[in-house]
Structure 1
Amino acid sequence: MQGMNIMLSGIRVCLLMLIVLLMTPWKVLAFDIDTHKTVGGMDVYIGVIPAEVIQGRGLSKEARMHGGTQQGRNQYHLVVALFDAKNGVRISNAQITANIARLGLGGSTKILERMKVNDAVTFGNYFALHGNASYRIRLKLDVPGKVVTEVLFEIRSTER
């Protein structure tokens, strides 16, 4: 039961981030994205949020996280939440590396940093995404006691 409550808390955080995104009037990229995959006994959820949303809301602590980001509409925050697929318990001790690249290109690789918001642990970092393009998000998930696993998401951005 506790695992389900923790998972619901993570879903609430993602919904809050989505609401803030939808209420933001800035010109940003809209993403066609599959936000969930199950791999290696883990449920993996991702979100891509314009950095302007974080910076523009006066959230100074959040704006500085991960060393901050460059100003501009091409900066986005990748957020990843992990849960045990069997019992729904949040996984908070992972080491995650993300590579985001336009299809066919090398892209940018960064370590996703652990973040704690309302007692819910997620992982994230800032990335630059430009214009109308298809991107590949490759996550390397290193969780103690599990085999190192990779999962691939593909997103399509359209400028609006």
Structure 2
Amino acid sequence: MNTILDHATRLAAWRLVLLGLLGPLAWGAQAQARLERDGVVLYWGLVPAAVVSQQHALADLHGGPPAGKVHHLVVALFDAKTGQRIENAVVQAQLSETGVVDAAPKYLLPMKINEQASYGQLFGMAKDGPYLFRVKVKLPDQPAAIDFTIEARVPHADMR
């Protein structure tokens, strides 16, 4: 079997799984993208609290909602070579907004969406964007964290 084709097929399948993972959240995602660095593929989505609250009580999610315009950052990680989902990472994200003091980094907690491992956290934003998230992914078998930069915009600011 052609390993390049097999890998491409698995990667395409994982992309479809990720879209399925976000399920009811995907239609309301304010921003989403794929990033790759140092052998890790990171898919992310930024979802307004109004959409998340249709599926989950915000008070029960990651310790409750923070102050501000609340959004949920969701991250799914994959091994770039094998397409395998990464379930044992430690993930942190720090929100930056123009003209606002940077928030303290937060851990993105492991969570299951449709029985698939992901990481997520609620963030309270002061403004309508743009948002910059500095994400650090620490894998158990690597000495240093992998840094990702997520630039997010809110095209539908009325959905909160």
Instruction: Give the alignment's TM-score, normalised by structure 2.
Output: 0.77
Please state how far the C-alpha of 1:79 moved relative to its aligned partner: 0.4
Unpaired stretches in structure 1, ≥5 consecutive residues: 23-30
SS in structure 2 at match of 1:88: coil
Q: Deviations over 1:39-95 (max 9, x none)?
A: 11011011111112222x2534x65121121587x1111100000111111001000
- 1:13 pairs with 2:10: no
Aligned AA (2:109): E
Map 1:143-158 to 2 at 5 A. 143-146=139-142, 147-158=144-155
Supply the distance in 2 between the matched residues of 1:36 and 1:7 (Cα, whole angstroms): 9
Alignment check: 8 A CA contact 1:131 1:157 kept: no
Instruction: Give the alignment's TM-score, normalised by structure 1.
Output: 0.77
Higher relative contact order (CA 8 A, sep 6+): 1
1:25 maps to none
Determine which structure has the larger strand proportion and give its number.
Answer: 1
Query: Percent identity of the aligned residues?
Result: 29
SS in structure 1 at match of 2:62: helix
Alignment check: 8 A CA contact 1:7 1:89 kept: no
Supply the distance in 1 between the matched residues of 2:124 and 2:67 (Cα, whole angstroms): 11
2:41 maps to 43
